[in-house]
Structure 1
């Protein structure tokens, strides 16, 4: 099949979803109100609660939720064939991810910017909240530790990405000052920022940075991991407008430029998809497509991490409640477009089926490496950009997205630690909470040796844990909508589907961990499974009570007056 047809069809489906379905959700389901005063205004503190231009906030939200996962997941899942991956990304984005992200953002905005964990305590109960926090903490630990490893490997394997990766921080700091201190024109700042970022890629391509093999007994990868965590810890404590917002915003713009370059290459060359529609010649030992497809592709179809970002940082920056539709739903569309680009790059970026099969000769192969290899070939042939620079552009794109997710992930985990402290009656300062987060993440990362490979130890549980988190977030949205007497079918149908696939995948993995005598993952799998079952039962009970105890919109608004900020 011609990849151009698939590209046009996928983009059209997602844009139609934003234009039509998100408008329906905003008007009929969530009843977005431009006159509602958001917590960014009522609780403004200049650090976490900051009224933000919706385009700047979209950049922060989109790049925080995207990371490397919408590249890695689809780039692995195409081993089952391009059609299943395409259908899950497009249908998932339109009917599940967009609704989930918009719903989580709306729910938090209507509750003083409180996290989804706090909302679980309110709508499901104290037991549900405590178990919810266990799942959240483990998920954030997986993201922070694993993404540090992914970034470090890319910086080692693609040294041309080092200068643009760290130079982007300086660009972001300057953009933050230009927007918030100097009040410069946003379009002008955006154009200059994008030009600066891509100039850094050209410079990085000419001057690669390669670290020595041994630095104080540490490998280059280990040095990068430690540096990344120190940076993320500092970034998590800074006011969002100083670094987090502008960094994510400019990264969002560079991603769209990167996607335009990638999709433009497809438009020019119209390459054929060499991968099979459905792969009937799977490698030995590969798992079945159902249910594993639906947890292998998480970000790009639906992701529980999005709910944590929506309620953890983005909700505290919403200037007008109607902005939630653009920030939340269109943020999911942006990630879906990235996942679609990963599918195209890893199925049309190779000359022959045999060449594709060399990469996908075992389950778990592909990932960022296949995306960079296939995508750079398309860009080189389509637009004539040198192969080395093409690889630098795509590798930098992957690194910057993973890094922005780490920024947000460490900040979110710091807030979770503070929230756990509040529940236990212990006041934990932001600095102390950040030290705890970094200690746990670094402890895991280096638990398997000095190379930092321990960061990937619990990554096999990411997909299932992430999707269970999404299902639990959907359950809270269902309960809120039921209490308001609104149609919650838009949430409960995706909830049931995601919950079934997640539990099924957890059980499949449980058997695999037992057969492999992997007692660490087996124990964590059991803990997550028990917590998820318990929270699901609590949520079902809460939903039943909510249907019989509705409240009016006036009662709902009055009950959620923005008067007291959550821990920040």
Structure 2
């Protein structure tokens, strides 16, 4: 019953947080006003700025921020014990992650839907804009390079997920056309699309489709990476209502309904036991330690700071500020919808992370096939999580979640085949929605960096950085053309991915297309650092608007210090999963990019401190 108590307790906590702390932020701090004209209406262009109902934006936002992050992070972090992972997810999502996402969304909506990187130049200094955009370029390049590999790995693990994922594309286009162009009510398309997607899971691996899925799953990684980036290019340059928005929306319907099924399975397994084994229903119990005591034997890294960069999505993630300020702020048609989308989506993701933790530490104990053996209880846990090295791989983390959650589904009578296929589609769909959203966001970053170059080029010494001449040049220059910028984003990611992760090795990591893994060790710290810098921008904007900032100051400090600590520790002391630093291992690419990121952070903080001092002087003079 402990598993059920944790799940219900987390749900109650999130409902209370949304209706108390989230409500206070919306009404008393940000003072959301339904009469304020939203950027989607003020700047409507039918492409990026498109007024949209909050339910559809919620679907886009939730699926974009979630990705595989709230799955792979918690699925690995439980090795420190389920209690530290659970506490970080619960309190991190309520007091840090949801505040970060909500704040970035509101700040963007109050600044014509601009990204946090662009706003940084207005609220801190123009140099900070460039520094922030460079960090965004690094982070998003990593996402684009790695997620093609993630999807290829998921397709190899679960070939039956290929047909349902591919079907989502034409289905989304049809729904986008009828809802946006024809004005159809969203209810009927929602029900129909949900039914079609579930039927595709049931019948998508039968007959010739099974043979097709097996053939597609065996494609070289680089083939998948190239095709997925090509798809991302198309999705990023098309009007948002054509593909990106409806695909994310119908994905959210399937993903949230699947989560509901997992919860029902968890309840049934808690009350009556899991699926029968030899006629008996095994009890659902937490088979993992609350706090892992055998740290040396398990080869675990230091829990502080590495727990807080291992679990990013689910607690707090810097990537979310890009979705909030890059796409969602351009779609909401009413300012008061920001709490539902910004704060609510993060709490939903937090609940997903809680279910992932429970699937790995309790659901896994209901049954695990390991080679020729079928294991249950602590034997299943020990086999899956023998040590850090064997558990940190992408396949190991995904398998732990899929096995545990499908065990929940089997407890309500769903077949093992369908349950695993459904959870495979679940993981692959999350990864795909993050990929196409990240590509669109990277296009914005490249456009803004090009715009900074144009501003500087057309500036005279006595003029401000942005002039009327530079504004006109931005509109007409090929450097800011959306097709050119999107191609640039895709080519950078394609080049990074084109290298094999481990040259000469056998298996998937020795193939071209797995090169994003080379830089993946940077992502956890870089992503969380991005969250700290986004907090910094939000804090400055609030200070300039004379809003209370006490509640955001500690999260800002926390998110600036911990990621930098984790990055420096790996560069100079010991990398995650090793007793040697990146320098000792001779991983100079990681050392170079990691050091450059830290330098950019320090530079940005120095600029912020100088700007803060000037703000204080101005406030004193006004008083």
Q: TM-score range by the shorter chain?
A: over 0.9
SS of the aligned residue for 1:146 comes to helix
**Which structure has the greater CA radius of gyration?**
2
Asked if the contact 2:205/2:213 (under 8 Å) is kept, the reply is no
Partner of 1:359: 384
Could you report, residue by residue, the CA deviation over 1:410-469 in whole angstroms, capped at 9, with x for unpaired residues? 011111111111111263311111111111111110122643110211111111111110
Q: Any stretches of 5+ residues in structure 2 without a counterpart?
A: 271-283, 366-376, 455-476, 501-509, 573-580
Normalised by the length of structure 2, the TM-score is 0.85
Q: State whether structure 2 residue 361 is matched by structure 1 residue 332.
A: no
Partner of 1:258: 258
Measure, in 2, the Cα distance between the counterparts of 1:435 and 1:295: 31
Structure having greater relative contact order (Cα 8 Å, sep ≥ 6) = 1
Measure, in 2, the Cα distance between the counterparts of 1:57 and 1:269: 34
Asked if the contact 2:220/2:511 (under 8 Å) is kept, the reply is no
Asked if the contact 2:232/2:436 (under 8 Å) is kept, the reply is yes
Asked if the contact 1:65/1:305 (under 8 Å) is kept, the reply is yes
Q: Any stretches of 5+ residues in structure 1 without a counterpart?
A: 552-568
Q: State whether structure 2 residue 619 is matched by structure 1 residue 546.
A: no
Q: Deviation at 1:537?
A: 2.0
Measure, in 1, the Cα distance between the counterparts of 2:60 and 2:616: 36
Asked if the contact 2:221/2:514 (under 8 Å) is kept, the reply is no
Partner of 1:455: 516
Partner of 1:563: none
Q: Deviation at 1:212?
A: 4.3
SS of the aligned residue for 2:242 comes to coil
Asked if the contact 2:332/2:338 (under 8 Å) is kept, the reply is yes
Q: For residues 237 and 359 of structure 1, do their structure 2 counterparts lie closer, same or farther at Cα, with a shift above 3 Å needed? A: same
- What is the aligned counterpart of 2:307 among 283, 293, 307? 293
Measure, in 1, the Cα distance between the counterparts of 2:36 and 2:183: 26
- What is the aligned counterpart of 1:393 among 418, 422, 436? 422
Q: For residues 235 and 550 of structure 1, do their structure 2 counterparts lie closer, same or farther at Cα, with a shift above 3 Å needed? A: farther
Measure, in 1, the Cα distance between the counterparts of 2:26 and 2:617: 25
- What is the aligned counterpart of 1:374 among 399, 404, 415? 404
- What is the aligned counterpart of 2:357 among 343, 355, 358? 343
Q: Deviation at 1:147?
A: 1.1
Q: State whether structure 2 residue 301 is matched by structure 1 residue 281.
A: no
Measure, in 2, the Cα distance between the counterparts of 1:2 and 1:214: 39
1:530-541 aligned at under 5 Å gives the runs 530-541=599-610
Q: For residues 329 and 550 of structure 1, do their structure 2 counterparts lie closer, same or farther at Cα, with a shift above 3 Å needed? A: farther
1:437-476 aligned at under 5 Å gives the runs 437-448=489-500, 450-476=511-537
Q: Deviation at 1:539?
A: 2.1
Could you report, residue by residue, the CA deviation over 1:270-300 in whole angstroms, capped at 9, with x for unpaired residues? 1211111011123453211110000000111
SS of the aligned residue for 1:178 comes to helix
Q: Which is further off, 446-455 or 114-123?
A: 446-455
1:127-526 aligned at under 5 Å gives the runs 127-206=127-206, 207-208=209-210, 209-212=212-215, 219-270=219-270, 271-282=284-295, 283-351=297-365, 352-363=377-388, 364-365=392-393, 366-380=396-410, 382-425=411-454, 427-448=479-500, 450-511=511-572, 512-526=581-595
Measure, in 1, the Cα distance between the counterparts of 2:560 and 2:217: 46
Partner of 2:598: 529
Q: Which is further off, 351-360 or 464-473?
A: 351-360
Measure, in 1, the Cα distance between the counterparts of 2:115 and 2:9: 36
Could you report, residue by residue, the CA deviation over 1:179-224 in whole angstroms, capped at 9, with x for unpaired residues? 1122222222211111111111112243433454999xxx433322
SS of the aligned residue for 1:453 comes to coil
SS of the aligned residue for 1:5 comes to helix
Q: Deviation at 1:544?
A: 3.6
Query: What is the root-mean-square deviation in Å for CA atoms of aligned residues?
Result: 1.7
Asked if the contact 1:479/1:542 (under 8 Å) is kept, the reply is no
Partner of 2:29: 29
Measure, in 2, the Cα distance between the counterparts of 1:199 and 1:170: 15
Could you report, residue by residue, the CA deviation over 1:3-29 in whole angstroms, capped at 9, with x for unpaired residues? 101101111111211111110000111
Q: Deviation at 1:548?
A: 4.4
Q: For residues 214 and 272 of structure 1, do their structure 2 counterparts lie closer, same or farther at Cα, with a shift above 3 Å needed? A: closer
Q: Deviation at 1:383?
A: 1.2
Could you report, residue by residue, the CA deviation over 1:382-415 in whole angstroms, capped at 9, with x for unpaired residues? 2111111111111111111110111110011111
Q: State whether structure 2 residue 34 is matched by structure 1 residue 9.
A: no
SS of the aligned residue for 1:434 comes to helix
Asked if the contact 1:144/1:410 (under 8 Å) is kept, the reply is yes
Asked if the contact 2:163/2:200 (under 8 Å) is kept, the reply is yes
Q: For residues 213 and 197 of structure 1, do their structure 2 counterparts lie closer, same or farther at Cα, with a shift above 3 Å needed? A: closer
Measure, in 2, the Cα distance between the counterparts of 1:549 and 1:316: 32
Q: Deviation at 1:513?
A: 1.1
Asked if the contact 1:14/1:93 (under 8 Å) is kept, the reply is no
Measure, in 1, the Cα distance between the counterparts of 2:387 and 2:217: 32
SS of the aligned residue for 2:64 comes to helix
Could you report, residue by residue, the CA deviation over 1:517-559 in whole angstroms, capped at 9, with x for unpaired residues? 11111111101111111112222333343344459xxxxxxxx
Q: For residues 211 and 384 of structure 1, do their structure 2 counterparts lie closer, same or farther at Cα, with a shift above 3 Å needed? A: closer
